[in-house]
Structure 1
Amino acid sequence: MEVENTNKKEYRGKESAKLFKLFLLTLLTYVLFKKVLKLYGLDFPTFIGYLVFFGGSFMLVHSFLVKKFYTDIEQLLRADEKNVNKLTLYCGITLFAVFFMLSFIIKLFHLLFILEDQRIQIILFNEHFRAICSFSFLLTIVYTIYIYTRLNALAKNQQIVEQKVITGNVSAQFESLKNQLDPHFLFNSLNVLGALIEEDQDKAILFNQSLSRTYRYILDQKNKELVPLEEELAFARTYIELLQMRFEDSLTFDFPESVKQEGGKVVPLSLQLLLENVIKHNKATSAKPIHITIVEQADGYLKIQNNLSKKELREGRKGIGLENIASRYALLTAKPIKVEESSDFFTVQIPILTKKIEHMRIIDVQEDEQDLLIEAKKKVAEYKRFYSHLTTYLLVNTFLIMMNILTDATFMWSLIPLFAWGIGLGSHAMKVYNYSFFLGKDWEDKKMREYVEDRKNDKSNWQ
């Protein structure tokens, strides 16, 4: 019952708000008809008739244009977000023509049938024509601003939808590639285990135990697109030690002791797949052991190199290891993997990826200052948007005031958008400069510091 009563109150509140807005809009329209369009002798019943005619006709035209051109508008916005300005201009011109035609009809009807002035030419050469132009221009400006915001919102929504589709496709491809790893790894590991069972059962038991820990790592990384480089190197070291349990002195390796590039990440299980390929495609003997070297390079790549001692493989058994790594990297970055083969060595270089936080023009910045720089860049972007808003406000309202004075200075309708828009501009300024009209500057920060100090004092009282 309480929930139902709450819903009823919310519904009544929304309906009351709609009625209040409708009342204000009706009152504003009456003032515009009376003062801007200069419909002298306008009584309330006549005003309601004009309002129904004007609003109904405009809604019919608006509905027709939306149905006819909505698909074209969506395509233009999808092609380029900059088309918002172009479409807004076209809509403004169309709106002015519609408003001018409807206001001309109302003005002509009012002169002929309400004021009974039979001089039709009077509407073309004096204040009546200027009143029609002022009325049409004012409504065009107001509604064009609304159209501009709607087009911007539509463009942003289309970008979000397209981004979700792209992200969904990429995620699906990435998951498909990752799911190939489970059977691939298990198949190769069981081959190794089977060989160890025949050669040394004690080693097979140790291998089986280590294999369970290794597979746990694979399951932990299953839902990750990237893993820290140090974790992948540690796992690769564990895995190659498992291989050494089988190959003994036929397999040697040289891994970096530490990571130079902090925060660097690689595709999970990429090193394990490359190590598998080395074992799969090369013969390992005590006389000619396989030596694997992993080196972190200064150009942002991790180089994995092994000497060649190829063994014959059946045609068609190309494997998915290298292709899988290349495909997963292609979904994450434009940096390709590099593969080189000579008569003595086979080399694969995989990119070490870092998260691109922000594009900074300042270089040689310490790590503890990066957060401050990011915050400063965001603040500068807020200032830039505010100054752009202020410039638009000054230019548009200067133009409106000039048009108002040139057409009809008896009623300064241009002050309406000046003050209404000014309230929004002032609110934007207070937000950017962190100022509250009643509470002063940095009030929120001050109250947060006071709260923290109070909490500290409370804790000290308990000690």
Structure 2
Amino acid sequence: MNFQENEPLFSSKLFLYLSRILVLFTFSIIFKSFDHTFVNDLRVMDVRGWTFSVVYVVFGLLVWEGAVWLARVLEKRIGGGSASRRLTVLCCALVLYGMLAAVGFGFLYAITDILLFHRYEAWESFKRLSYDLNFGIFMFYLLILTFNGIIYYYTAWKEYQVQAERLKRENIQARYDALRNQIDPHFFFNSLSVLTNLVYKSPDLSADYITQLAKTYRYILDKKFENLVTIQTELDFLESYLFLMRIRHQQSIQFRIDIDEKIRSKGMIPPVSLQLLIENAIKHNRFSSADPLVITVNSEDSCLVVSNHIRRKASTEISSGIGLENIQKRYALISEQGIEVLQADDMFIVKIPIITVT
């Protein structure tokens, strides 16, 4: 039996009470079998034996509920105290309650045995406050409380797990949102400086530039609260971004994209991942119209591969900390898969996993 699939059954009140009845009935049989001072000739499964078990189970259920109620009342009244004080008061109260329950059961069974079977053995044991009788019942009471404590703390542990998992997800989402928020203004202000120069030279091209810039920034705003987007959606965004880069750098940068159509429509990646990798390549490499920087994006196995030749600048700008580290952290927050960064000969290669959602 799969416990997780049947957990609602195990957590139901019906299962709780049935388990209590089973435990109490088992204790009643054990008690009848070994406590000879209770009733010397009591047979375990005759009418009197069944009567004893029924009384024991019914009384035990009432005592059980009373112990739960007492624990709740004490927890409520001394909830503001220290943990040690609360535990001490609770244990002392339950021990005293257990003593009263043991005496109460001895009296109840003695009266029942007299009224129904005209037997006085139990009454004589009760009048003498028989150590075996009362201590035996008290020990069974403690066993019941122990069983109840296991159930209680298991339930509390499950609730703690659910709460901890919820807090973990909220924390992950908050960290992910913080990473995404870093992306918003990243290249926008750089683009404005290009537009300032372009608007005087070519009004028509400036209009196209503004349109593509608006599409780019709208994509970031629209996808801001999404953890994953399809690769095709990301490529549509990338087309607008690459238009801006071509205007800014002319023929100094070339882009080659070769991704299978099925992967485009089915595969998913965190939004703006490809843009960050391309921007990272542009930032850290030198290029010119005579010796352009070629950036390739293609699919390989279950990854997207972004690669370019390494042409390190003599003086590199101070990193803003967004690039590769940002992508790595975003993948760590949403998937067990991570990005892979390789430097082979004069090539810089980044592999980002394609995530499939079923």
TM-score tier by shorter-chain length is: 0.5 to 0.7
C-alpha contact 2:216 2:237 (8 A) present in aligned 1: yes
| Unmatched segments (≥5 aa) in structure 2 | 1-47, 85-90, 115-119
Q: Distance in 2 between matches of 1:54 and 1:309?
A: 81
Shift of 1:269: 0.5
Letter in 2 for 1:243: M
The residue that corresponds to 2:182 in the other structure is: 180
For 2:297, which of 284, 294, 316 is the aligned residue? 294
Letter in 2 for 1:235: F
Q: Distance in 1 between matches of 2:66 and 2:283?
A: 77
Letter in 2 for 1:156: K
The DSSP-based 3-state class of the residue aligned with 1:174 is helix
State the percentage of identical aligned residues: 32
Figure out how many residues of one structure are paired with residues of the other and give that number: 287
Letter in 2 for 1:346: F
Shift of 1:290: 1.3
Letter in 2 for 1:333: S
Letter in 2 for 1:177: L
Letter in 1 for 2:52: V
With normalisation by structure 2, the TM-score equals 0.63
The equivalences for 1:48-447 within 5 A come to 58=67, 62=71, 99=98, 102-104=101-103, 107=106, 129=133, 147=149, 149-194=151-196, 196-197=198-199, 200-261=202-263, 263-298=266-301, 300-313=302-315, 316-342=318-344, 344-355=346-357
Residues 342, 109 of structure 1: CA spacing in aligned structure 2 closer, same or farther, 3 A cutoff?
closer
The equivalences for 1:5-84 within 5 A come to 35-36=51-52, 58=67, 62=71
Q: Distance in 1 between matches of 2:242 and 2:65?
A: 78
With normalisation by structure 1, the TM-score equals 0.50
Q: Distance in 1 between matches of 2:213 and 2:229?
A: 20
Letter in 2 for 1:179: N
C-alpha contact 1:178 1:222 (8 A) present in aligned 2: yes
Letter in 2 for 1:338: E
Shift of 1:146: 5.7
Shift of 1:266: 0.7
Q: Distance in 1 between matches of 2:105 and 2:218?
A: 79
Q: Distance in 1 between matches of 2:168 and 2:229?
A: 23
Q: Distance in 2 between matches of 1:144 and 1:224?
A: 48
Residues 106, 214 of structure 1: CA spacing in aligned structure 2 closer, same or farther, 3 A cutoff?
closer
C-alpha contact 1:174 1:331 (8 A) present in aligned 2: yes
1:285-342 Cα offsets, whole Å, 9 max, x none, are 22111111111111x2211011233334456345522222222122112322222235
Residues 239, 35 of structure 1: CA spacing in aligned structure 2 closer, same or farther, 3 A cutoff?
same
Q: CA RMSD in A?
A: 4.8
The DSSP-based 3-state class of the residue aligned with 1:160 is helix
C-alpha contact 2:296 2:306 (8 A) present in aligned 1: yes
Report which stretch shifted further, 57-66 or 289-298: 57-66
Q: Distance in 2 between matches of 1:226 and 1:236?
A: 15
Q: Distance in 2 between matches of 1:326 and 1:257?
A: 22
1:230-274 Cα offsets, whole Å, 9 max, x none, are 211232233213322333332222112534446321110111122
Q: Distance in 2 between matches of 1:211 and 1:284?
A: 23
C-alpha contact 1:249 1:289 (8 A) present in aligned 2: yes
Q: Distance in 1 between matches of 2:54 and 2:226?
A: 69
Residues 103, 192 of structure 1: CA spacing in aligned structure 2 closer, same or farther, 3 A cutoff?
same
C-alpha contact 1:229 1:264 (8 A) present in aligned 2: yes
Q: Distance in 2 between matches of 1:184 and 1:346?
A: 22
Residues 121, 329 of structure 1: CA spacing in aligned structure 2 closer, same or farther, 3 A cutoff?
closer
Letter in 1 for 2:294: H
